[in-house]
Structure 1
Amino acid sequence: MKPQNLLVVGAGLSGAVIAHELAVAGHQVTVADARNHIGGNCHTERCAETGVMVHVYGPHIFHTDDEEIWAYANRFTRFRPYRHRVQTTTQGRVYSMPINLHTINQFFGAAMRPDEARAFVATRADRSISEPQSFEEQALHLIGPEIYEAFFKGYTQKQWGCHPRELPASVLRRLPLRYSYDDLYFAQRFQGMPEEGYSAMVAAMLDHPRITLQLGCKITRTEAKGFDHVFNSGPIDGWFDHALGRLGYRTLDFRRFTHQGDYQGCAVMNYGDAEVPWTRITEHKHFAPWEEHAGSVLYEERARDCGPEDIPYYPIRLVNEKRMLADYVELAEAERGVTFVGRLGTYRYLDMDVSIREALDTARLFQICGSGRMPAFAQHPLG
């Protein structure tokens, strides 16, 4: 293919992978990001006071079963072993999450074997709910009121800003419930943390002579016209100046504080009680267990609806949002020379490994199609 002059909007994982792959393929790539740093929401930096590597926009744990993506990520950084564990405080006691056999036995003051615990939970479940319509009904149908109210009700209400009975049952796609003493949060084969943080990994991806990086640069739809093709990893509704309205997101507010010593003894402590206003506290030095720090950096997280000036984190994707998204998809598919990628470009929640996989596949598709036949979406938002 004849070398193209390409624009990538966004210097997060999706944009960095696409930029790297197409620069290696011989194209000239400009990467523009409205923020003054690379890495998007997985940006990391060291705290000058404590030396702790901080996940500036909240913790990101790399986990995948995709062997190619694991090998790809390891080309740009050294991953150190890390196994994620989460604790939750509810009703004045601390339990391990996801809910496992130890959680069940501790919560009910029992010493049940796996088969006994499975049968016991089945007796608590509300089988009169034959076709659950809401998150609450789905939870009651599967686990009953005690576990639901202690571990899911308050946390979900804080996370989504509404009562769980207002959320569809599909939000609770699968119940994290284990009848073993396995307390690892993720089950994928490959798990780890980049030794020098995610921003160093992204910097390595962008370190190519055919890549030009522009930070603190917000690119408009009009300004993108001079390129042969654009890959937009920014919000799809923002590309069209919110002409049809703003897609709904939840955002996070962080209260950052430091502590001398070990504040909570774990990386993540969830808070299940509705009256506790924060959803969790993260202690960032525990995300790098190979390091030792006397001081500690912590984030107290609170979720709320995303405003125009806020950072979007979680797409809501309920009925009204999906209807608006369908209208934006129609506009996007009428565009020429633009492909929408990543979490914001496709209005989907994506784990990091999926973001890399989709970006890699998008770059490969461009090498086959070229700008003239490249679709608006390599991964369709409504698929």
Structure 2
Amino acid sequence: MGGKNLLMVGAGLSGAVIGRHLAELGHKVTVIDARDHIGGNCHTERDGDTGVMVHVYGPHIFHTDDEEVWEYVNRFERFMPYKNRVKTTVGGHVYSLPINLHTINQFYGRAMRPDEAKAFIEEQADTSIDDPQTFEEQALRFVGPDLYEAFFKGYTQKQWGCSPTELPASILKRLPVRFNYDDNYFAHRFQGMPENGYTAMIGRILDHEGIRVELGRKVTRAEAAAYDHVFYSGPLDGWFDYELGRLGYRTLDFERFTHDGDYQGTAVMNYGEVGVPYTRITEHKHFSPWESHEGSVLYREFSRECGPDDIPYYPIRLVDEKEMLSAYVDRAKTERGVSFVGRLGTYRYLDMDVTIREALDAARAWARAEELGETPPVFFVAPL
């Protein structure tokens, strides 16, 4: 069987991982991206003045329990140990997140042991809420009004641009409290940062004789039709020229500034109060703690509604969006020769490890369908 002529629309993690897997199976792969760099929103580059490795579209911290995915990324770049320890400034004081025993004791001016703190928080919690439906109800049920007001309400309102009473409880999936002094933001087995940045890693994934990369241009539907199969990781509604309307996203604006020395002593400082317009400040040299830099590059991060010319970050997925998404999914299922993949192609918020897992699974599923002479799925993972 001769190799097929395949197109990856998008040079982020989805396009790179699928493209590499299928190139290794002998297929001819073209990767095209509208931006002038590979890596999508994971793109990293060294700042010319300070030497700091900058996460150009905001910080990306790698964490996973998926051993195969961890081995996969380490095949292309050495991952250095990194623990995400987030701080937040509220009411003129600095606390650690997620809420842990130190946060609780500091906030209430106490010195409680885990069992005492558990009983204390249960007293604060609104136990009349049996089945939390909204973000606010979920938070009030588990932490009570004081901690909710201080650490969740303002930040959530700024991040999503609406009241937490309008957001589903599922956004706050897990109990957002730890009754120990563990301030590692993630609980996954494998956590780290690529030594030379994500762009270097994705560059190595794409470095294969069967892969050709074209940057700085968009792909037309007519052009895509010339390929044996297309893996599309752009916005799902964009494939259909937004005929049914635009799916809602939040976007981010970054106010970049520099500092001589250490500005905040940590990589991520959240600002939970509504009166502070930005959600957080990120100091990028702290994402590479094995390096040493005098100067510093920082981003103030602002969240707002995504317009037609903005970069989409977080899919909103509230009732109206889900209705429109359902209509686009129905349209997509009538397509032939294209599969929709990744965060934008399936309109889902995905961590990097899940994106890579789904890309590996998609590449294998497509290759299996090809071998059996079957039609490959339009969606390898259902968006709804």
Q: Into which bin does the TM-score normalised by the smaller protein fall?
A: over 0.9
Paired position in structure 1 for 2:299: 299
Question: What CA distance in whole angstroms lies between the structure 1 residues aligned with 2:63 and 2:168?
Answer: 27
Paired position in structure 1 for 2:205: 205
Question: What CA distance in whole angstroms lies between the structure 2 residues aligned with 1:31 and 1:23?
Answer: 11
Amino acid at match of 1:320: D
Question: What CA distance in whole angstroms lies between the structure 2 residues aligned with 1:193 and 1:134?
Answer: 34
Within a 5 Å distance, the mapping from 1:230-379 to structure 2 comes to: 230-370=230-370, 372-379=374-381
Question: What CA distance in whole angstroms lies between the structure 1 residues aligned with 2:169 and 2:72?
Answer: 36
State the 1:220 CA deviation: 2.0
Amino acid at match of 1:324: M
Q: TM-score, normalised by structure 2?
A: 0.98
What SS is found at the alignment partner of 1:29?
A: strand
Residues 1:20 and 2:20 aligned together: yes
What SS is found at the alignment partner of 2:281?
A: strand
Q: TM-score, normalised by structure 1?
A: 0.99
State, as a whole percentage, how many aligned pairs show the same letter: 70
State the 1:175 CA deviation: 2.8
Contact 1:337 1:372 in 2 (8 A): no
Amino acid at match of 2:213: L
Question: What CA distance in whole angstroms lies between the structure 2 residues aligned with 1:26 and 1:143?
Answer: 54
Amino acid at match of 1:377: F
Amino acid at match of 2:81: P
Contact 1:220 1:239 in 2 (8 A): no
Question: What CA distance in whole angstroms lies between the structure 1 residues aligned with 2:136 and 2:383?
Answer: 27
State the 1:129 CA deviation: 2.2
Amino acid at match of 1:299: Y
State the 1:176 CA deviation: 2.1
Question: What CA distance in whole angstroms lies between the structure 2 residues aligned with 1:128 and 1:267?
Answer: 38
Within a 5 Å distance, the mapping from 1:19-168 to structure 2 comes to: 19-168=19-168
Residues 1:11 and 2:11 aligned together: yes
> Unaligned 5+ residue runs, structure 2?
none
Question: What CA distance in whole angstroms lies between the structure 1 residues aligned with 2:37 and 2:176?
Answer: 35
Give the total of aligned pairs: 382
State the 1:26 CA deviation: 0.3
Q: Which moved more, 1:38-47 or 1:132-141?
A: 132-141
Question: What CA distance in whole angstroms lies between the structure 2 residues aligned with 1:210 and 1:45?
Answer: 26
CA shift digits 1:305-352 (9 cap, x unpaired): 000000000000111111111111111111000000000000000000
State the 1:271 CA deviation: 0.4
RMSD: 0.9
Within a 5 Å distance, the mapping from 1:215-226 to structure 2 comes to: 215-226=215-226
Question: What CA distance in whole angstroms lies between the structure 2 residues aligned with 1:73 and 1:172?
Answer: 29
Contact 1:260 1:294 in 2 (8 A): yes
Question: What CA distance in whole angstroms lies between the structure 2 residues aligned with 1:13 and 1:127?
Answer: 43
Q: Which moved more, 1:163-172 or 1:268-277?
A: 163-172
State the 1:372 CA deviation: 5.0
Question: What CA distance in whole angstroms lies between the structure 2 residues aligned with 1:54 and 1:258?
Answer: 12
Contact 1:221 1:240 in 2 (8 A): no
